[in-house]
Amino acid sequence: MGSENNISNADESNRMWASASFVGVLIIIGMPLWWKTTEVYRVSLPYEKISSFKPLSHFVTTELKVLANDDATASKIVSEIQKAFAESDIIKIKIEKTVMSERQQHILRSVVDMEKAVEELASTLDLDQENIFHVVQKKSLSHNIWVGNERIMFFDDEKASETIVKALDGWIYQTSVLRGSRSDTPDQARSTRFPPESAYHITLSIVHPRPDTMKVVWNAAEAVEDYIGSFVDELSSLHNFTLKSQWLHLLDFDFQAREVKEVSEWGRHFAVRQDRLSLLLTRLEERAATHVSELSTINLALYIVPCDKAPIIIYDNEGRKNPLSIQAFMSPKWGGVVIASPPAEQCSQQVREFEPSVGQIMGAFVSHLRELLGITKKDAIEGAHLEPSRSVSPRRWEVDALLRIRTLEQVTSAERTLQSLAQLLEEISNIVINDEVGASIAAAVSELEAGAGEGAGADAARAGRAHAHAQRAFTHPGLLALLYFPDDQKYAIYIPLFLPIMFPVVLSLRILLLWFMGKPVHKEKTD
Amino acid sequence: MAFTNLMLVFIFNLLYLSLSSGIEIPEEFQKSNHTNNWAVLVDTSRFWFNYRHVANVLSIYRSVKRLGIPDSQIILMISDDMACNPRNPRPATIFNSAHEQINVYGDDVEVDYRGYEVSVENFIRLLTGRVPPDTPRSKQLLTDEGSNILIYLTGHGGDGFLKFQDSEEVTSQELADALEQMWQKKRYNEIFFIIDTCQASSMYEKFYSPNILATASSLVGEDSLSHHVDSAIGVYIIDRYTYYVLEFLENVHPNSQRTMSEFLAVCPKSACLSTVGVRKDLFHRDPSKVPITDFFGSVRPVILTTDPINIVETPKRKKKTENKTKIQVKRDYVPQFPMHLVQVT
């Protein structure tokens, strides 16, 4: 009997140890292992930092130097400017006032020509420093204020303070455009200019519908290189540009022009309605092959009108004739077109040769490029004179303003992107966040924290980097919810596999516990 | 007494006139601030007997192209090749009518995603912009915050899903999430969503992003029916809803004044036999004031140049001086037979 007991005891303890090992392997080792191996790989992200971003709180800072003949004028002007910009949440101006030295006052008194005055003054003031603008008094101006190409504004006397404030607001600092670049909904300027990118292609296409009837003399490569190249060199701190040119032959477009008789060398002109012009862009898109490159392309097209359809004059939507000698139009976020008609004497000859005027046409293209890259048109201000631009390069203070606008735009866009990405990743808990996405987000957050969206120049570069990192993180191809199992589907796969096994294991736990505690497992038979 | 009556009537008339002139005449069309138009046209079904779905999507493609949207802004996804299908008695053509008048395949069709490339994953990647880095530009949806997008889906569907390639499905929740991600990333200004499948309206029920106008060929529980058979080809050639849409679009030209509400009413129950569903609550403009060219045409805004730059002196770009010394490269032929490798015994 005892040996039977011993055997049954040994048997029982074997059985118990077997059950215990099942429990050990399945529940204690297996379940945590399964949990760990089916865990979605998610790099930890700085969610608190991202949610603490406030895109609408960013502003730009800039410096202003006021120079006047005496202290009273300077103080008056400074106080007027300070009062006007005190409540501005978009720009913070650090104003410095000085009384001009004898030499400077002498220069301004003796030199009448404005450009020369600027040149002479440039030796005493440092006009090349970015983001610093000078407001200088010059007596006996023909207007209240005068603004040219350099970072300097001349004003007559303290009565011009109101005009100065208006000019600073509308021309130099462009607070409305700054506000538009920061806002959620796009304003007119943001709808016109290209979205911020590190590089663009600029393609000049010369469209020649009837090459058999007329020879066009135009050196496209040189025109692009000289004119457009000189323009974009000034913006090299913002974007990289690749300049290309191409000829598109036999690309015809029916303008549906109406012939209008008139007294001129041609005796007629063809009237084209403005609403027909957008279809020309569609036709150009077919052949211009602008999607060959990965980057956005700014299309500039020169359409040479054949002799039998020349000259073309564009009539706007109200039916008014375009009075300029150059017929050109621009489409926001696409590019610009110039329509060049040959002169009548060329068309009457046997061998027709047309040499379009390079300066005039490139002038139109440069004005298109200015708007497409963010340099907006300046509205006229009463009493203020803005010297018209006579060179290809943008004005110095326009480049400063553009830097500010792009910085603000990129910083707010990066913050909004990160916020929506963080919200998305928190919501969908089974998206894998791999190392690349995590690194991009971390890099973007660190750039944004370091920059804090002020100033221009070095911070423009930082804003650009933050924007690029945020874009890369958001559009990473790995962030696709489809690729990963949602939690309910995960359980639906594993439960049918493991539940039948776990059943007896769990049920045997009670018996195991009793055995370990030394209690008799089976009720002894009592007679 | 009569005089006071007359005076009262006169004053009353004056008041009425002055009040009514205060009511402003509503604008002809409500302005949209979109700068360009895109179209995403998807056919999701395979096999020869689903010829009509390919004809559907190609007919919409032709209409959209005719109204001005360039190929670079149309993403066309077709799951199976009907034109070159061995069962096609008219090879290299696809017709959308038994009269076989228009070959909607044509010479210049540009299909961006074809065959097995049309999958749920690629579709969602296209919408959200999370495409692999080497994707060509013609396969990407390069929209921005000013783009109006026309999305047209056709194929076989059910309550809450659309079947892709006869093997996988995209659910209405996934589609709604994808559109929300597009909204978050400012990838559209407005979307017009058309779907022509069975129980089609279930696909737009879950949308929750703003500025979407959606229409479906049938409600939940109804089937969308096909229109007619072409006995020469042997299959149904076009679906009812798309047939009436095309009839409507034939009368639309690039300067058309037709409105979206006319489009939404294009197929009454007597013609379509299924009820056309419309979802307007996410769309903030009144469809009866939205021109059809806002979605179907490509009316790019055009701004006339009034102030070209008057360039006085010809600029010359400073050429970077490159120290390139021309090395004369000597070229000669490779030996015809590699004798150095052959052991000469």
The ipTM value here is 0.79
Element (H, E) at B175: helix B172-184
Q: For residue B7, tell me if it sits in a domain.
A: no
Residues 225-284 of chain A whose Cβ lies under 8 A from any Cβ of chain B: 225-227, 229-230, 233, 274-275, 277-279, 281-282
Nearest to A404 by CA among A165, A189, A227: A189
Q: What's the pLDDT at A523? A: 58
Q: Check whether the bond before A311 is cis (ω within 30° of 0).
A: yes
Question: Six-digit token pair at A421?
Answer: 């990405």
Please tell me the distance from the alpha carbon of residue A281 to that of residue B110, in angstroms, as a whole number. Answer: 19
Q: What are phi and psi of A449, to 5 degrees?
A: -70, -40
Distance of CA B254 to the CA centre of its chain: 16
E strand map for B185-312: 190-196, 212-216, 226-230, 235-239, 277-279, 303-304
Catalytic residue, from B34, B198, B227, B267: name it. Answer: B198
Known catalytic residue at B198: yes
Q: What is the CATH number of the domain that holds B218?
A: 3.40.50.1460
Q: What's the pLDDT at B345? A: 66
Nearest to A128 by CA among A395, A396, A391: A396
Nearest to A136 by CA among A171, A386, A114, A169: A114
How many helices (DSSP H) and strands (DSSP E) are in chain B?
8, 13
Q: What's the pLDDT at A453? A: 46
Q: For residue B304, tell me if it sits in a domain.
A: no
Q: For residue B134, tell me if it sits in a domain.
A: yes
- Kindly identify which residue of chain A lies nearest to residue B180, measuring between CA atoms: A424
CB A433 within 8 A of CB A425: yes
Q: What's the pLDDT at B23? A: 36
Chain B partners within 8 Å of A278 (Cβ)? 68, 298-302
Chain A partners within 8 Å of B310 (Cβ)? 363, 388, 390
Q: What's the pLDDT at B293? A: 87
Q: What's the pLDDT at A2? A: 55
Known catalytic residue at B156: yes
Q: How many domains does chain B have?
A: 1
Q: Do B120 and A186 touch (CB under 8 A)?
A: no
The distance in angstroms from the start CA to the end CA of chain B is: 143
Measured CA to CA in angstroms, residue A379 lies from A170, A376, A382 at distances of: 8, 9, 10
Chain A partners within 8 Å of B184 (Cβ)? 420, 423-424
Q: A122-161 b/e with 16+ CB inside 10 Å = b?
A: eeebebeebbbbbbbbbeebebbbbbbbbbbbbbbbbebb
Please tell me the distance from the alpha carbon of residue A169 to that of residue A401, in angstroms, as a whole number. Answer: 11
Measured CA to CA in angstroms, residue A503 lies from A20, A30, A319, A500 at distances of: 14, 15, 85, 5
Q: For residue B303, tell me if it sits in a domain.
A: no
Question: Six-digit token pair at A520?
Answer: 């008799």
Q: For residue B199, tell me if it sits in a domain.
A: yes
Chain A partners within 8 Å of B181 (Cβ)? 420, 424
Catalytic residue, from B34, B53, B156, B227: name it. Answer: B156
Q: For residue B202, tell me if it sits in a domain.
A: yes
Please tell me the distance from the alpha carbon of residue A465 to that of residue A471, in angstroms, as a whole number. Answer: 10
Tens-level pLDDT at each residue, chain A (527 residues): 556 667 777 888 888 888 889 888 888 898 899 888 888 888 888 999 888 888 888 888 889 999 888 888 889 989 999 999 988 888 888 999 889 888 888 888 888 888 888 888 888 888 888 889 999 888 888 888 999 888 999 988 888 888 899 999 999 999 999 998 888 888 888 888 999 988 999 999 999 999 999 999 999 999 999 999 999 999 988 899 999 999 999 998 988 899 989 888 888 999 999 888 888 888 888 888 777 778 889 999 999 999 988 899 999 888 888 889 899 999 988 899 999 999 988 888 888 999 999 999 999 999 999 999 999 989 888 889 998 888 889 999 999 999 999 999 999 999 999 998 998 888 777 778 889 999 999 999 998 888 764 544 458 888 889 999 999 999 888 887 666 666 777 788 888 988 888 888 888 888 888 888 876 656 555 55
CB A418 within 8 A of CB A50: yes
Q: Do B130 and A480 touch (CB under 8 A)?
A: yes
pTM value?
0.82
Strand order in the sheet with B157-158: B157-158, B161-164, B168-171
Nearest to B246 by CA among B222, B221, B227, B273: B227
Nearest to A58 by CA among A420, A468, A473, A462: A462
Q: For residue B250, tell me if it sits in a domain.
A: yes
Tens-level pLDDT at each residue, chain B (345 residues): 667 766 665 565 555 544 444 333 233 445 667 888 999 999 999 999 999 999 999 999 999 998 888 888 999 999 999 999 999 999 999 999 999 999 999 888 999 999 999 999 999 999 999 999 889 888 999 998 889 999 999 999 999 999 999 999 999 988 998 998 899 888 999 999 999 999 999 999 999 999 999 999 999 999 999 999 999 999 999 999 999 999 999 999 887 889 999 999 999 999 989 999 999 999 999 999 999 988 998 778 889 998 888 888 888 876 655 566 677 888 888 888 888 787 776
Q: What is the CA radius of gyration of chain B?
A: 29
Over residues B110-120, the pLDDT tens digits come to 999 999 999 99
- The answer, for A321 touching chain B at a CB cutoff of 8 Å, is no
- The answer, for A289 touching chain B at a CB cutoff of 8 Å, is no
Q: For residue B1, tell me if it sits in a domain.
A: no
DSSP A351: S
Q: Do B311 and A316 touch (CB under 8 A)?
A: no
Over residues B65-86, the pLDDT tens digits come to 988 888 889 999 999 999 999 9
